[in-house]
């Protein structure tokens, strides 16, 4: 049985999922979209507003009568750093995309290297982390297999055996997730083109 803290976390996730559309919602509208009670939405939205995660302003309901508060996600509340790299001819190309809380690109950078080892990769990520202090997660797409969390059989040979997730989590104390880059691409295709009950199958 889930305790109160677990339910609170899950219910906030439901609210964030709805609000990531970028629209404004009253607490009553959030209750309808999430299936939560208005009282629960009221409590959680008040907490999120106090924390700066959402912002609210008065919304006039009709020409007369009292106004209501409409809320939307604060797009600058937190960021996700998306990192991937690939071989192009003899160059190692690194991409760093910074996504805001709504999933929109806030900043992007691309750089080419003749040699891209673990130290160089971490240095590039650290520069982004120092520039934006609200990065809460790092997502890494790698052209390789993963073996016990380490990069294996990578297109960029100097990254073979690199424990990138462990090094980044230890250094920056944020959530780090690494996956084969094609897995991310398939998931992105699914999110954009498939219905929730469909399973995409690809041959690559």
Tokens of 187: 């998931």
Rounded to a whole number of angstroms, the CA Rg of the chain reads: 21
Q: What is the pLDDT of residue 147?
A: 87
Give the residue among 61, 13, 49 at the shortest CA–CA distance from 34. Answer: 13
How do residues 20-59 score in pLDDT, each as one tens digit? 988 999 999 999 999 999 999 999 999 999 999 999 988 7
Distance of alpha carbon 48 from alpha carbon 51, whole angstroms: 5
In the predicted model, is pLDDT for residue 96 greater than 50? Answer: yes
Q: Which helix (H) or strand (E) holds 183?
A: helix 181-193
Tokens of 67: 């106004």
In the predicted model, is pLDDT for residue 60 greater than 70? Answer: no
Which residue matches tokens 């750093």? Answer: 81
What residue ranges define each of the domains in the chain, with the CATH number in brackets? 4-73 (1.10.10.10), 79-190 (3.30.420.40)
Distance of alpha carbon 97 from alpha carbon 100, whole angstroms: 10
Tokens of 64: 């007369």
CA distances from 120 to 26, 114, 116, 123 (A): 46, 11, 6, 5
In the predicted model, is pLDDT for residue 195 greater than 70? Answer: no
Q: Kindly indicate the confidence band of residue 188, based on its pLDDT and cuts at 50, 70 and 90.
A: low
Of 44-58, 70-84, 149-163, 187-201, the least confident:
187-201
pTM as predicted: 0.81
In the predicted model, is pLDDT for residue 204 greater than 50? Answer: no
Q: What is the pLDDT of residue 9?
A: 93
């Amino acid at each position: 049985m889930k305790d109160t803290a677990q339910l609170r976390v899950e219910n906030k996730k439901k609210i964030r999922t709805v609000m990531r559309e970028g629209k404004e919602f009253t607490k009553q509208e959030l209750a309808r979209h999430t299936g939560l009670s208005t009282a629960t939405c009221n409590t959680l939205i008040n907490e999120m507003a106090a924390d700066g995660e959402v912002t609210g302003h008065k919304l006039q309901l009709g020409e007369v009568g009292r106004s209501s508060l409409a809320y939307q996600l604060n797009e600058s509340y937190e960021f996700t750093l998306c990192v991937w790299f690939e071989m192009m001819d003899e160059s190692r190309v690194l991409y760093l995309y910074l996504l805001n809380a709504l999933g929109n690109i806030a900043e992007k950078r691309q750089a080419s290297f003749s040699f891209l080892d673990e130290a160089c990769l971490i240095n590039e990520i650290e520069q982004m982390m120092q520039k934006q202090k609200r990065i809460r997660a790092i997502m890494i797409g790698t052209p390789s297999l993963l073996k016990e969390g380490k990069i294996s059989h990578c297109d960029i040979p100097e990254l073979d055996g690199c424990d990138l997730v462990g090094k980044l989590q230890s250094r920056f104390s944020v959530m780090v997730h690494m996956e084969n880059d094609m897995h991310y691409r398939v998931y992105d295709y699914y999110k954009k083109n498939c219905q929730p009950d469909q399973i995409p199958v690809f041959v690559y």
